[in-house]
């Protein structure tokens, strides 16, 4: 069987890719996608830990299922907000969304 | 969570306020469909009246002390104190929203407010990592919608987007930390996690702790997770700003205090040192930036960052007195900040501006409003004999008891700096003349209640703090 560490390395790498997208991308939708990658990294973690450390308890799976559901809700609201700002401003570039500053 | 857990009807009593909130939200949404457009303003009364009932139930109904739903939630006394605090904030914000022109006729707005409150109440009693995450997300996602609620308003939409991106990002980091804690310990209940963390390698436990702290830090607006605060506070509809600044922050502190007390005691002195540093930086940065602000909502945003810094003193003290002081200060902060934002709603309704300059001559336009704002600013600035003074005093006392003298010195210096910009607003209100100062500010009945209640609370909590503080103190006993 593939050792647990490999999954954790994959998850950490995915998390970092997501983190990079959040910090470096200027398009609001790309940032949202980066956040999704981070959440998927979490799911890999949860399922790997569940499978390798306590396959008899369902809690890891349940946690991952909640993460899915919540992430979907978050994206729905996020995209709605992006659409509403696009209708106002005709841009989704976070550098141009800058009315609020000091 | 044992596999043999069976459902027990008494558990429903533990989450009775949450169930009632859910029913109330559905009622409000239903009434919204039934009411004709011109009478929809009464939705605020429906919401507030329902919340008062939920508040009374949450205070008076008998609650089993032990954990419910296989350890998902535990409605211990301090959790119930926090729950009452959020519900009180909800009542005041619902009434305040009735006088905020763009929102006052909107049923879904009140529905989202109630869903967000539901999430906060669960945050206060959550004792399991999964429950914690779901409750925090319920709170946050509803709050994203509330902040971006005015779709036509570019400021509100922009604030909503920024709040959502920042919130989703920090919650993803927190969630990664939670997944590490789950992996390290194999459990999700706070007690299981804490027990297993004692044997876990220190560095890994610390990584989990720091990642979780990012999520909490976003909620309470502590440095360096405070960047969203000024933009979101300025852009959001003002009642929503008030809601986020009091209830959402208090909910963040509720989970933070519980998690530090029950998950991470094994990290010992390490996190205390970190929290001392964060507390000092948070209050200092908040106060320094607040000095330069021209927009009153931005000023109150930085002021709320600074206030989070003061409350973190209680968190860092990590003693029973520190925790009780933090909870007590949050009660004071709730009524105080709502008084401040209620005056902002009324003045900006009339002048269409949120600049501090637009408050010129307010004392001649409405004595009541001017004094309401004044009391709120004095209380935030810690002027005796108002509530904020006694709250800060107890926080500092908690820190001294835990030996954090340096932090107290920084705190006192910060209070002095903050007086400068609070009194600056007072000067504009009372001394500066304006051309429209003959035109009185109309104060609708709901706002009159909100201001009357909060002003009375600021004075009474300042002069007669003992009964309320004793209540919080007794509640904190269950944790020690």
Residue B440, φ and ψ in degrees, nearest 5: -75, 155
Residue A42 inside a domain? The answer is: yes
User: Count of CB contacts below 8 A, A vs B?
Assistant: 130
Longest CA–CA separation in chain A, Å:
55
CA angle B410, B412, B416 (to 5 degrees): 115
Task: Name the closest residue on chain A to residue B183, using Cα atoms.
Answer: A49
Q: Count the domains in chain B.
A: 1
- Cβ–Cβ below 8 Å for A89 and B188: no
Residue B355 inside a domain? The answer is: yes
B229 contact A CB<8A: no
Complex confidence, ipTM: 0.96
Return mean pLDDT, chain B.
92
Distance CA B151, CA B144 (A): 12
pLDDT of residue B77: 93
Residue A25 inside a domain? The answer is: yes
Q: Is the pLDDT of residue B372 over 90?
A: yes
> What band does B6 get if pLDDT is binned at 50, 70 and 90?
confident
CA count, 13 A, side-chain hemisphere, B424: 18
- End-to-end CA gap in chain A: 55
Length of chain A: 102
> What band does B2 get if pLDDT is binned at 50, 70 and 90?
very low
Range of the domain at A17: 4-89
- Cβ–Cβ below 8 Å for B133 and A84: no
Residue B294 inside a domain? The answer is: yes
- Cβ–Cβ below 8 Å for A81 and B160: yes
Residue B115 inside a domain? The answer is: no
Query: Are residues B96 and B449 in contact, defined by beta-carbon separation less than 8 angstroms?
Result: no
pLDDT of residue B1: 44
Q: Is the pLDDT of residue B44 over 80?
A: yes
Residue B118 inside a domain? The answer is: no
Please state which of the ranges B100-109, B195-204, B423-432 shows the lowest mean pLDDT.
B100-109
Q: Is the pLDDT of residue B309 over 80?
A: yes
Q: Which residues, 6 or more positions from B104, have their beta carbon under 8 angstroms from its beta carbon?
A: B40, B41, B44, B97, B98
B161 contact A CB<8A: yes
Distance CA B165, CA B158 (A): 11
Residue B245 inside a domain? The answer is: no
Query: A72: domain CATH number?
Result: 1.10.287.3510
**Which residues in chain B have Cβ-Cβ distances shorter than 8 Å to A42?**
172, 175-176, 178-179
**Could you give the 3-state DSSP secondary structure of residue A90?**
coil
Residue B334 inside a domain? The answer is: yes
Residue A31 inside a domain? The answer is: yes
- For the stretch B391-408, what's the b/e string if a residue is b when 16 or more beta carbons lie within 10 angstroms of its beta carbon? bbebbbebbeebebeebb
**Could you give the 3-state DSSP secondary structure of residue A27?**
strand
- Cβ–Cβ below 8 Å for A57 and B3: yes
* Helices B296-317 & B202-220 angle (0-180, nearest 10): 150
pLDDT of residue B104: 67
Residue B346 inside a domain? The answer is: yes
pLDDT of residue B5: 64
- Give the closest-approach CA distance of B356 to chain A in angstroms: 14
Residue A102 inside a domain? The answer is: no
pLDDT of residue A89: 85
Residue A49 inside a domain? The answer is: yes
Instruction: Give residue-wise pLDDT tens across range A48-57.
Output: 999 998 888 8
Instruction: Give residue-wise pLDDT tens across range B453-470.
Output: 999 999 999 999 999 999
- Cβ–Cβ below 8 Å for B172 and A78: no
Query: Which one, of B116, B181, B187, lies nearest residue B149 by Cα?
Result: B116
Range of the domain at B339: 268-480
Q: Count the domains in chain A.
A: 1
**Could you give the 3-state DSSP secondary structure of residue A11?**
helix
Residue B435 inside a domain? The answer is: yes
- Cβ–Cβ below 8 Å for B165 and A78: yes
> What band does B332 get if pLDDT is binned at 50, 70 and 90?
very high
Section B294-309 average pLDDT: 95
Distance CA B245, CA B260 (A): 22
Instruction: Give residue-wise pLDDT tens across range B335-356.
Output: 999 999 999 999 998 888 899 9
């Amino acid at each position: 069987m593939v050792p647990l560490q490999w999954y954790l390395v994959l998850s950490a790498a995915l998390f970092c890719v997501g983190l990079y997208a959040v910090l470096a991308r200027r398009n609001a939708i790309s940032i949202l996608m980066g956040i999704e990658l981070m959440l998927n990294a979490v799911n890999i973690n949860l399922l790997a830990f569940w499978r390798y450390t306590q396959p008899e308890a369902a809690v890891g799976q349940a946690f991952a299922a909640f993460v899915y559901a919540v992430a979907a809700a978050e994206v729905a609201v996020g995209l709605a907000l992006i659409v509403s700002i696009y209708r106002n401003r005709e841009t989704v570039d976070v550098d141009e969304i800058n009315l609020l500053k000091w | 969570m044992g596999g043999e857990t069976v459902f027990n009807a008494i558990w429903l009593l533990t989450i009775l306020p949450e169930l009632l909130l859910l029913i109330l939200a559905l009622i409000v949404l239903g009434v919204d469909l039934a009411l004709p457009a011109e009478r929809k303003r009464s939705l605020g009364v429906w919401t507030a009246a329902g919340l008062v009932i939920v508040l009374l139930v949450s205070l008076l109904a008998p609650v089993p002390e032990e954990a419910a739903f296989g350890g998902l939630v535990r409605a211990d006394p301090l959790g119930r104190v926090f729950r009452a605090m959020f519900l009180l904030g909800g009542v005041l914000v619902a009434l305040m929203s009735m006088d905020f022109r763009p929102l006052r006729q909107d049923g879904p707005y009140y529905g989202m407010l109630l869903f967000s409150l539901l999430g906060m109440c669960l945050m206060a009693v959550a004792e399991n990592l999964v429950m914690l995450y779901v409750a925090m997300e319920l709170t946050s996602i509803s709050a994203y919608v509330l902040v971006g609620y005015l779709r036509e308003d570019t400021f509100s939409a922009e604030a909503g987007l920024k709040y959502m991106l920042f919130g989703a990002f920090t919650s993803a980091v927190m969630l990664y930390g939670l997944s590490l804690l789950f992996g390290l310990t194999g459990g999700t209940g706070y007690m299981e996690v804490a027990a297993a963390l004692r044997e876990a390698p220190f560095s890994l436990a610390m990584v989990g702790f720091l990642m979780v702290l990012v999520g909490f830090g976003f909620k309470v607006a502590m440095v360096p997770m405070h960047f969203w605060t000024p933009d979101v506070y300025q852009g959001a509809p003002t009642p929503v700003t008030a809601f986020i600044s009091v209830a959402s922050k208090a909910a963040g502190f509720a989970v933070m205090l519980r998690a530090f007390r029950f998950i991470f005691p094994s990290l010992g002195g390490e996190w205390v040192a970190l929290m001392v540093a964060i507390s000092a930086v948070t209050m200092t940065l908040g106060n320094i930036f607040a000095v330069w602000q021209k927009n009153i909502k931005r000023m109150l945003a930085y002021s709320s960052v600074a206030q989070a810094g003061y409350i973190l003193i209680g968190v860092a003290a990590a003693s029973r007195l520190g925790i009780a002081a933090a909870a007590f200060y949050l009660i004071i902060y709730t009524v105080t900040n709502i008084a401040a934002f209620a005056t902002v709603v009324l003045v900006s309704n009339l002048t269409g501006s949120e600049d501090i300059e637009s408050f010129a001559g307010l004392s001649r336009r409405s004595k009541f409003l001017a004094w309401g704002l004044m009391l709120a600013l004095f209380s935030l600035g810690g002027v005796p004999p108002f509530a904020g003074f006694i709250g800060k005093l107890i926080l500092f006392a908690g820190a001294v008891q835990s030996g954090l003298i340096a932090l107290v010195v920084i705190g006192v210096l910060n209070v002095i700096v903050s007086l400068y910009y609070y009194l600056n607003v007072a000067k504009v209100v009372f001394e500066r003349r304006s051309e429209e100062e003959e035109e009185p500010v109309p104060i609708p009945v709901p706002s009159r209640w909100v201001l009357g209640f909060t002003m009375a609370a600021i004075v009474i909590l300042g002069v007669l703090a003992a009964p309320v503080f004793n209540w919080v103190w007794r509640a904190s006993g269950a944790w020690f």
